[in-house]
Amino acid sequence: MTGEKYDVLKHFFGYSSFRGGQEELIDAQMEGRDVLGVMPTGGGKSLCYQIPAILMTGITLVVSPLISLMKDQVTALKAAGIPAAYINSSLSAGQINKVYQNLLEGRYKIVYIAPERLATEGFISVAQRLRISLLAVDEAHCISQWGQDFRPSYLRISEFVGKLRRRPVVSAFTATATERVRRDIERSLGLDRPLRIVTGFDRQNLRFEVIKPKKKDEALLALVSERAEKSGIIYCATRRDVESVCRMLRGAGLSATRYHAGLTEEERRNNQDDFIYDRCGIMVATNAFGMGIDKSNVSYVIHYSMPQSIESYYQEAGRAGRDGSDADCILLYSARDIRTAQFLIEHSGGSEKLTEDEQSKVTEQALKRLGEMVGYCETDRCLRGYILDYFGQKHPKTCGNCGNCDGSFSEKDITGEAGAVFECVRLVRERIGYSLGSAKIMKVLRGGRDRDILALGLDGLPVYGKLRGVSSDTLREILESLKTQGFLRVDPIHGALFLTDRAEDASRRHEKVTMRVRGKSAEPSSAAKRTQAGAETDEGLYAALRDLRYRAAKEEGIPAFMVFSNATLRDMAAKKPTTESEMLSVAGVGQNKMQRYGDRFVEEIKRYLSENED
**Contact residues for Zn ion, defined by CB under 5 A:** 382, 384, 399, 402, 405
Name residues contacting ligand ADP, limited to 552-581 (CB under 6 A).
none
Q: How far is the CB of 318 from ligand ADP (least distance, A)?
A: 9
Cβ nearer to ligand ADP, comparing 45 with 258: 45
Q: Which stretch binds ligand ADP (CB under 6 A): 11-19, 54-62, 108-116, 226-234?
A: 11-19
Q: Which stretch binds ligand ADP (CB under 6 A): 44-52, 82-90, 331-339, 573-581?
A: 44-52
Q: Which of Zn ion, ligand ADP, none is residue 37 near (CB under 5 to 8 Å by kind)?
A: none
Q: Does 41 bind ligand ADP (CB under 6 A)?
A: yes
Among 21, 44, 407, 419, binds ligand ADP (CB under 6 A): 44
Cβ nearer to ligand ADP, comparing 392 with 437: 392
Cβ nearer to ligand ADP, comparing 46 with 435: 46
Q: How far is the CB of 384 from Zn ion (least distance, A)?
A: 5
Q: What share of the chain is helix, strand, coil (3-state, %, to 5)?
A: 50, 15, 35
| Nearest one of 191, 165, 252 to 36, comparing CA atoms | 191
**Please, are residues 261 and 271 in contact by the beta-carbon 8 Å criterion?**
no
Q: Is 187 left (phi over 0), alpha (psi -120 to 50) or beta?
A: alpha
Q: How far is the CB of 395 from Zn ion (least distance, A)?
A: 9
Q: How far is the CB of 401 from Zn ion (least distance, A)?
A: 6
Q: Which of ligand ADP, Zn ion, none is residue 399 near (CB under 5 to 8 Å by kind)?
A: Zn ion
Q: Which of Zn ion, ligand ADP, none is residue 491 near (CB under 5 to 8 Å by kind)?
A: none
**Please, are residues 492 and 341 in contact by the beta-carbon 8 Å criterion?**
no
| Nearest one of 261, 283, 262, 288 to 271, comparing CA atoms | 283
Strand partners, 303: 235, 331
**Please, are residues 393 and 400 in contact by the beta-carbon 8 Å criterion?**
no
Q: Does 15 bind ligand ADP (CB under 6 A)?
A: yes
Q: Which of Zn ion, ligand ADP, none is residue 405 near (CB under 5 to 8 Å by kind)?
A: Zn ion
**Please, are residues 36 and 182 in contact by the beta-carbon 8 Å criterion?**
yes
The Cα 50–Cα 41 span in angstroms is: 16
Strands (E), 461-579: 488-490, 497-499, 514-518
Q: Which stretch binds ligand ADP (CB under 6 A): 18-26, 215-223, 577-585, 596-604?
A: 18-26
Name residues contacting ligand ADP, limited to 291-330 (CB under 6 A).
294
Rg for the chain, CA atoms, rounded:
28
Cβ nearer to Zn ion, comparing 113 with 405: 405
Q: How far is the CB of 379 from Zn ion (least distance, A)?
A: 10
Q: Which residue is nearest to ligand ADP (CB)?
A: 44
Binding mask 47-86 for ligand ADP (x = CB under 6 A): x---------------------------------------
Q: Which of ligand ADP, Zn ion, none is residue 42 near (CB under 5 to 8 Å by kind)?
A: ligand ADP
| Nearest one of 155, 88, 168 to 127, comparing CA atoms | 168
Strands (E), 323-408: 327-332
How many other C-beta atoms lie within 10 A of the C-beta of residue 92? 9
Cβ nearer to ligand ADP, comparing 135 with 332: 135
Q: How far is the CB of 381 from Zn ion (least distance, A)?
A: 8
Q: Which of ligand ADP, Zn ion, none is residue 46 near (CB under 5 to 8 Å by kind)?
A: ligand ADP
| Nearest one of 591, 596, 552, 590 to 568, comparing CA atoms | 590
What is the DSSP code (8-state) at residue 144?
-
Q: Which of ligand ADP, Zn ion, none is residue 492 near (CB under 5 to 8 Å by kind)?
A: none
Q: Does 45 bind ligand ADP (CB under 6 A)?
A: yes
Instruction: Give the DSSP letter string of 386-454.
Output: HHHHHTT----S--SSBTTTSS-EEEEE-HHHHHHHHHHHHHHHHHHSS--BHHHHHHHHTT---HHHH
Footprint on this chain of ligand ADP (rule: CB under 6 A)? 15, 18-19, 22, 39, 41-47, 294
